[in-house]
Structure 1
Amino acid sequence: MESSFATVGLPFALAVIMFGLGLSLSVADFRGVAKNPRAVAIILGCQIVVLPLLGFGLAVAFGLQPLLAVGLMTLAAAPGGTVANLYSHLFHGDVALNITLTALNSILALITLPIVVNFSAAWFLDTADGIGVQPAKMLQVFALVLIPVAVGMLVRARARSFADRADRPVRIASGVLIAVVVVGALLGEDRALEYATEAGAVTAVFCALSLTVGYVIPRLAGLSAAQCVAGGFEIGLHNATLALAVTLTVLDSSEMSVAPAVYGIVMFPLAVVFGVVVTRIGRMETGRTKTTGPSVHETEYRRDRP
């Protein structure tokens, strides 16, 4: 079952999800870097530098088994997923910034993901384990990422009305496929319950901290409220399907897939809690400005709102 899932089901699911991402992107989204270069640099810095360090620290602190630790590190290096755009919209984040970040993140992952995976495999695994990153398979995975995105962008450029109509059905299909991928990965591992129990707490903590880092660091850097919300969801909601594609097809390890699979379950309720909390923070700050006048932070927030 695991072999069939990894060779047929997972690539198909990843392709559909990335095609859906492409339907929401245009070349102009990449030009969005010029509009918010500081916000993009700060949030991508959190993704590329802070999250792998956070994943490594948690793996060591929780004493994860080596295979589970590599799976967590792979998840930490995975870019933000399309779900981040949806949550950002629901909780009044800067969606345009999310789209730009997701587009750039998917490209940067071509470089950063193999580096993190190779480092974590070398650190946590003995050479006797015989597990290493296979360049040919890694290229296949990224072909499954970039080609569907490019096709989706082409469809949007040539037939925007069709892309708009197809966006919602494809998003729903993507959500269903994510659930199927997560269940398939867990069922493919004989010791799924044991591993999920061990990885569950650290994965939940990682998700909660990722959401927090993505919000707090941009806030400390003086970004607007909407940009901070966008950063929280972009950094906190990873592309678990891509992480599963790497662990199952490149690293050929169902044990490594447990952390991404568990994350694919816990990230949704934690994202809702995060969204409610930051919304309340925003309302409290708005209430204070009614008596003290708008702060620079609130003025920027209003300027960023459509």
Structure 2
Amino acid sequence: MDSELFTVFLPLTLALMMMGLGLHLRPVDFYRLAQYPKVIFIALFSQLVLLVGIAFLICNFLNLSPIFSIGLMLVAASPGGPTSTIMTYLFKGDIALNITLTAANSVIATFTLPFILNLSMIYFLQTAQPIDIPATKIAKVFFLTLVPVSTGMCLRYFLPKFAIRLHHPMRILSLSCLFFIFFIALYLERHNLIQYIFEVGPAIALFCFSSMFIGFFIPHIANITEKQALTCSFEITIHNTALAITVALSVLGNTAMAIPAGIYSIFMFVFATLFGLLVSQKKDRLFFKRQNLID
């Protein structure tokens, strides 16, 4: 079952999830980059540069093991997850901006993820020679992300009614697959799970909090609206952990490297939900305060 899981099921599952994301995208979503250049740049810079740097510092500061360090760097290098759109919708963020960020992030990560992963393996495994990730593995990451997203977009463009009917079942399938992959990763390392949580849990919690803090307050400092700042926070915090787990299990063939992504899957939804509720309560208080002033 393990070999079938690594070579067939995980790549197929991720491809389906990425195609589901593509069903929500249109070329116009990429054109929005011209509408929000400032917030797009801030969000992508935070995601692709700041968070990767913070993850690197956390790994060194907390002295994580090389395997867990690479696993955390893999999470940091993964793009925003499609479920960030759901959180954005629930807590009244800018859905159009979220879709644009997820789309751009997913395409860019196709190229940056193998690069960051390679550097992480060189540094944390402390090899004298650089580790060359085989071209076939780089191509595998590329085809597991960009090709399915492009397929979904083509379906939406050429068969819009069919694509719309697929939205709901694909979302359910994606969420189900995410949880299934997560539990598979935990099952494969069940004998060491408690030890793993104590070892990597603090680093994951710190990284998740840092993601949310940076995603919300840096746009605020740059005078971005609170609605868009909230969207950036969800996009930056909710990573595509299914991609990280699949790369760890299927591409690298290391179950321990998937543990940080599996644990992060829990933390990111808890942190994002609590943060969304906190911001919503703040908005409600401001609304009632303005109403009292009017009265």
User: What CA distance in whole angstroms lies between the structure 2 residues aligned with 1:128 and 1:257?
Assistant: 25
Q: Report if the CA contact (8 A) 2:75-2:241 is conserved.
A: yes
Deviations 1:192-233 (A, max 9, x none): 332233112221221222122111111111111110111000
Counterparts of 1:244-263 in structure 2, within 5 Å, are 244-263=245-264
Q: Report if the CA contact (8 A) 1:121-1:132 is conserved.
A: no
One-letter amino acid of the counterpart of residue 79, structure 1: P
Counterparts of 1:212-223 in structure 2, within 5 Å, are 212-223=213-224
Count of residue pairs brought into register by the alignment: 293
Deviations 1:122-156 (A, max 9, x none): 11113289975333112112201112111111111
Paired residue for 1:111? 111
User: What CA distance in whole angstroms lies between the structure 2 residues aligned with 1:35 and 1:200?
Assistant: 39
Paired residue for 2:269? 268
User: What CA distance in whole angstroms lies between the structure 2 residues aligned with 1:9 and 1:215?
Assistant: 36
Structure 1 residues 42 and 195, CA, compared in 2 at 3 Å: closer, same or farther?
same
1:195 matches 2:196: yes
Deviations 1:9-59 (A, max 9, x none): 211210111011011000110001011111101111100111001111211
Q: Report if the CA contact (8 A) 2:122-2:131 is conserved.
A: no
Shift of 1:292: 8.2
SS at match of 2:256: coil
**TM-score normalised by the chain length of structure 2:** 0.93
User: What CA distance in whole angstroms lies between the structure 1 residues aligned with 2:264 and 2:124?
Assistant: 20
One-letter amino acid of the counterpart of residue 122, structure 2: A
User: C-alpha root-mean-square deviation of aligned residues, in Å?
Assistant: 2.1
Q: Report if the CA contact (8 A) 2:122-2:130 is conserved.
A: no
**TM-score normalised by the chain length of structure 1:** 0.89
- Structure 2 residue runs without a partner (length 5+): none
Percent of aligned positions with the same letter in both sequences?
38
Shift of 1:283: 3.1
Q: Report if the CA contact (8 A) 1:71-1:260 is conserved.
A: yes
Paired residue for 1:44? 44
- Structure 1 residue runs without a partner (length 5+): 294-306
Shift of 1:282: 2.8
Counterparts of 1:144-293 in structure 2, within 5 Å, are 144-189=144-189, 190-287=191-288
User: What CA distance in whole angstroms lies between the structure 2 residues aligned with 1:194 and 1:134?
Assistant: 32
Paired residue for 1:124? 124
Shift of 1:249: 2.6
User: What CA distance in whole angstroms lies between the structure 1 residues aligned with 2:45 and 2:293?
Assistant: 34
